[in-house]
Structure 1
């Protein structure tokens, strides 16, 4: 990127991160957002909770800075920070809730990350960064090498180095990292882990921006619907096929591996037990950072799924309005035709010169087929003409697969195996048989789950009519 005067001048006027840094109360804004969203890894907070936390901070600051230091109320500050001219918070209504919620915008998180980098660190580690550069360069060189002989030579060198190291270890000579090297690497891991959480929020923001752009196109679209859908799916695929999209997909697939999760958990446990790491007084949340990655990544995936569903309903509404308009035009034509039925014009209406005859060959006629007469065994009764309640159209059972997957994943965090009966004991069925069938479908699609035909379990629930139902099924076992 060419950072020239004009570019920086435009960023200074429009970029939310720059606006936050030069705001009148930037220390208040940055400190509050850091401790409410970044530190606890919160993806959204209700207006009541966020306003209460801000009121507590304002009360504390007014005692030290004076009563007139921050004259506005907490809710007024939140509305200002979420305004179009600021863009530090996203103000929205979650699905199924009538209370306003807030989430941190990626631009504000970038500003907070830069401010955090200004604080003097215990020491500036360079060895781990240099090793990271060497490792990345080696991966690029080896990963793009097409010559088989060159690859074999590199593997032989690596094999010789490993055998030499094994010989030294067997002889009792073990090289151990000193405390400085351990702290250097730990700080690098900590920084990278926090940056990954910010990447999830930016990916989610990109999909929300695409959704808003498509809605604007639908509203102002004057061409064909096929071209509109082609443009939409083209841009959606462009995000998925971009470098950021491919990297995010690869990261998510790697993180979802149970073996990788166990490996991360074990390594973090050992690292936090090191004396050099304990001396740094590290944030204990880093010990479970991979679960924070899972939570943030699943929130991003859920958001993308909701946006896709909302966009589909939006397109359906547009199609319904178009069809309604077509029916209105047809009804107007029919009404006009009825009015003109008794006013037939005299004489010829249309003349055709030398109309061509229709040619029907004998062999083109199909053979005779006996018509199939439908048999209706049930009695068909006529309605009494009363209106059917429209609420029945909305009584459709919807089971959220992502919620059920999260329950299974949460149960497997503390144990290697868990049965479906144990999950249902902790989370009783709310949607009845449909929810149970969804659990069984997830088990059938999961390579790490199996059905035990020798055991049976029973699920019990109460339907909408207050009737107690039960179902018996083969035991289902989920494993990591």
Structure 2
């Protein structure tokens, strides 16, 4: 840390610009409320419409409190905050609209303000942090050593300690537990680490995005072959995986996506939230309860960033393929032109010269990014509910279903043909008077469906009231209904005019 580095950071960091901005307090509050405050409603990313709606509601609250802040257009503020580096605007592959998520700079600003404001009220954990440091150092020494004798000695000592504790508990000895203050201290330490972990994902995403931009810049500035572009991208991705951040992230994903580890973590979280010493820490408990889905969403978001990198590569390689196809088409056109000329020369002369052709080709390389990435199966965490079947209701509905009658479409069309043969047109109400409904209200729907399918006139701007008598399928009681429907007129068609009249066969 040098004076020049500090000065450059304070002058150019988007985090500092956010904290020093005139409306910085409102921006930090709004971003924290939207993305961090409510763990059940918070999300990693919001669509443009959702975030606009949230910002407009926040502006309405400010106006109700007579605060002259954020009085401009909500869309303009989102655009300005994106340009300032406080929001990341992107277009997901499965959506046609822009989405927003926090950047690492806004994450740092929110975390700084949160830590500063809660410093006086929150528990300052010294003992738990010291134990965490010591346990980490011990684990570091044990994991860094490749000496089998040293590892065996540590394992035997750990087993002896566990055996002694088991014998003590079996012998009726006192079970040592943490003091409530120690429980709260360790719990807040874990919550602080969790918040830091969730904010650090933005840096991993930015690294993957920088790789995609660099590959795109290299492809646009240099006229290179597809293999060279692909090799550069694969080398960059391998470099990321070999760096400390990449190694840690891959280990994190492998652990979190393991079903057994996930189930054990959920079980541990459920037990933690039932501890009496921390039951009054509602906000922190909710944060821990939402830990697994939140971390899974964060990891999935980073993996989607990798997918966007692959999409960029496929697009660049496709652009290269378009250029190759155009050049191939031009060469083939020149070959056809030359072959046509040689054909005429051979036909006009007695000689038959030998005609040959040399073709230079390059080996075809299939992109490994053409395969879709693996996505974890969707897990439904839904409690099983008992469904009680009401037999009386089921029987009543079954009788209604059994009482339904089938519409005879051909006979209905024959009836329209007979009536329109006698006159140019007939209305639906008049047709029903001549041929009363037998099936019920559904038969009227059938007449309207035939009018729609066969191209008869349906005037939706006018209505008429038709009285229909129906019979209940269960009780057999007759009921008269007044139904308002569009004015339907059946017209004579050319097929009807030329078709023979069907008559019933004598029995």
Residue 201, structure 1, aligned to residue 172, structure 2? no
Match of 1:411 among 380, 383, 393: 380
Structure 2 unaligned spans of 5+: 346-369, 385-507
Cα gap change, 1:47 to 1:146, in 2 (>3 Å): closer
CA distance in 1, matches of 2:63, 2:373: 47
Task: Give 1:21-420 correspondences, 5 Å limit.
Answer: 21-39=19-37, 40=39, 41-66=42-67, 68-83=68-83, 86-119=84-117, 120=119, 121-169=121-169, 170-283=171-284, 284-328=286-330, 331=333, 405-407=376-378, 410-411=379-380
CA distance in 1, matches of 2:200, 2:69: 35
Relative to structure 1, the CA distance from residue 100 to residue 143 in structure 2 (aligned partners, 3 Å threshold; closer, same or farther) is closer
3-state SS in 2 of match to 1:115: helix
Question: How much has 1:61 moved relative to structure 2?
Answer: 1.9
Question: Residue deviations 1:130-160, cap 9 Å, x none?
Answer: 1111111111111122333333332232223
Q: Pick closer, same or farther for the CA change 1:6–1:330 going to 2, 3 Å.
A: farther
Are 2:128 and 2:185, in contact at CA under 8 Å, matched by a contact in 1? yes
Residues in 2 aligned to 1:292 and 1:59: alpha-carbon distance in whole angstroms: 30
| Correspondence for 1:12 | 10
Structure 2 counterpart SS, 1:176: coil
**1:62–1:70 contact (8 Å) kept in structure 2:** no
Greater Cα radius of gyration, structure 1 or 2:
2
Quote how far apart the aligned CAs of 1:118 are: 0.4
SS in 1 for 2:65: helix
Q: Is the 1:142–1:151 contact (alpha carbons within 8 Å) kept by the matching residues of 2?
A: yes
1:299, distance to aligned residue in structure 2 (A) = 2.6
Q: Contact 1:91 / 1:102 at 8 angstroms: preserved in 2?
A: yes
After superposition, the Cα gap between the structure-2 partners of 1:71 and 1:292, relative to the gap in structure 1 and judged at 3 Å, is closer
SS at 2:282 equivalent: coil
Distance 1:313 1:163, change over 3 A: same
Gap regions ≥5 residues in structure 1: 344-397, 416-480
CA distance in 2, matches of 1:147, 1:104: 45
Q: Within 1, Cα distance between the matches of 2:382 and 2:247?
A: 27
Name the stretch that deviates more: 297-306 or 181-190. Answer: 297-306
Once the two structures are TM-superposed, the CA of residue 402 in structure 1 deviates from its matched residue by 5.3
Give 1:468-479 correspondences, 5 Å limit.
none
Secondary structure of 1:173's partner?
coil
Cα drift, residue 414 of structure 1: 5.8
Asked if the contact 1:89–1:105 (Cα under 8 Å) also holds between the matched residues in 2, the reply is: yes
State the 1:102 CA deviation: 1.3
Q: Classify the secondary structure of the residue corresponding to 1:182.
A: helix
SS at match of 2:283: coil
- Residues of 2 paired with 1:60 and 1:87: CA distance? 26
| Counterpart-to-counterpart distance in 2, 1:155 and 1:118 | 42
Structure 1 pair 256/13, CA: closer, same or farther in 2 (3 Å)? same
CA deviations over 1:41-94 (Å, ceiling 9, x no partner):
41221222111111111222233353x4333121111111011xx111122232
What is the RMSD computed on CA atoms of the aligned residues?
Answer: 2.8
Change (3 A) 1:315 1:267: same
Partner of 2:491: none
In the aligned structure 2, how far is the partner of 1:399 from the partner of 1:144?
A: 37
